[in-house]
Amino acid sequence: MPLPTVILPGYLESAIAYRQLEESLKQLGFPTVTVPLRRRDWISTLGGRPVTPILGKLDRTVKQILLECNAAQINLIGHSAGGWISRIYLGEKPYLARSELKSSLWKAHPLVATLITLGTPHISQERWTRSTLDFVNNNYPGAFYKNVRYVCVAGKTIFGARRRGSWLAYSSYQLTCGTGNTWGDGITPIATAHLEGAENLVIEGVRHSPRSPGIWYGSPEPLKAWVRYLI
């Protein structure tokens, strides 16, 4: 039987947006659950504040599905910021972000067989997220845990440029990697969506968010490119 799968939503996103992806994975035989986040659950993380509340909900979801499925491991899918938050969850270093009173620790890498990140900005120049991302990349660079299979999926859809229709992409790419004139999914540039040592994929034509017009990473056709990495 395939391992159960947990989906961690992207920044400021709720579990509802991932319902189609969850159902698609269930139809393929993967017991799947999305961390039950609401948009308001992210409010406490705004302005660079710690993502500990999200990690707590992730941990409770993982423990619950492991118990329900009588399994020892899961597959973990992190969309956007959910990807680098998942890397904190795997780790063995106390996570103490700005304004936190005490550090938190999960050491969850033995529980995760495969981590798939979808459109995740693994680096950023943006000052609100940089402190936490620096924590991640300084402590867990690249595909850090050898017992975990890392699969990083990027989209090649919009080339950032200072013209109508490409301004948002240009600004987002520049804020993320320092260069606006590059390819990405409209929000995350390819250059930041991959990790050294991971199995890095590029899918053409996918947009960043499940709420984006057209297709995104979890739509039926793009799903075929990365679902084969689930165990």
pLDDT at residue 100 in the model: 54
Domain boundaries, the chain: 5-154+197-229
Residue-level pLDDT at 40: 96
Question: Which residue reads 């270093």 in tokens?
Answer: 93
Q: Quick check: 23 pLDDT over 80?
A: yes
pLDDT at 211 over 90: yes
What span, in angstroms and rounded, lies between the C-alpha atoms of 201 and 186? 16
Residue 105 binned pLDDT confidence (cut-offs 50, 70, 90): confident
Beta bridge partners of 153: 118, 201
Task: Please give the residue that has the higher pLDDT: either 163 or 141.
Answer: 141
- Strand 32-34 versus strand 149-156 pairing type: unpaired
Average confidence score pLDDT of the chain: 94
3-class SS at 114? Answer: strand
pLDDT at residue 140 greater than cutoff 70:
yes
Structure tokens belonging to residue 194: 């991959």
Query: Distance between CA atoms of 60 and 120, rounded to whole angstroms?
Result: 22
Per CATH, the architecture of 5-154+197-229 is what? 3-Layer(aba) Sandwich (3.40)
* Helix ranges (DSSP H) in 3-155: 19-27, 52-69, 81-90, 127-139
Output the CA–CA distances (angstroms, integers) from residue 122 to 4, 7, 99, 106, 155, in the order listed.
25, 17, 22, 20, 14
**pLDDT score recorded for residue 33:** 98
Degrees, nearest 5: CA angle 213-58-12: 35
Q: Tell whether pTM > 0.85.
A: yes
pLDDT at residue 219 greater than cutoff 70: yes
Look at residue 104 in the predicted model and tell me its pLDDT: 77
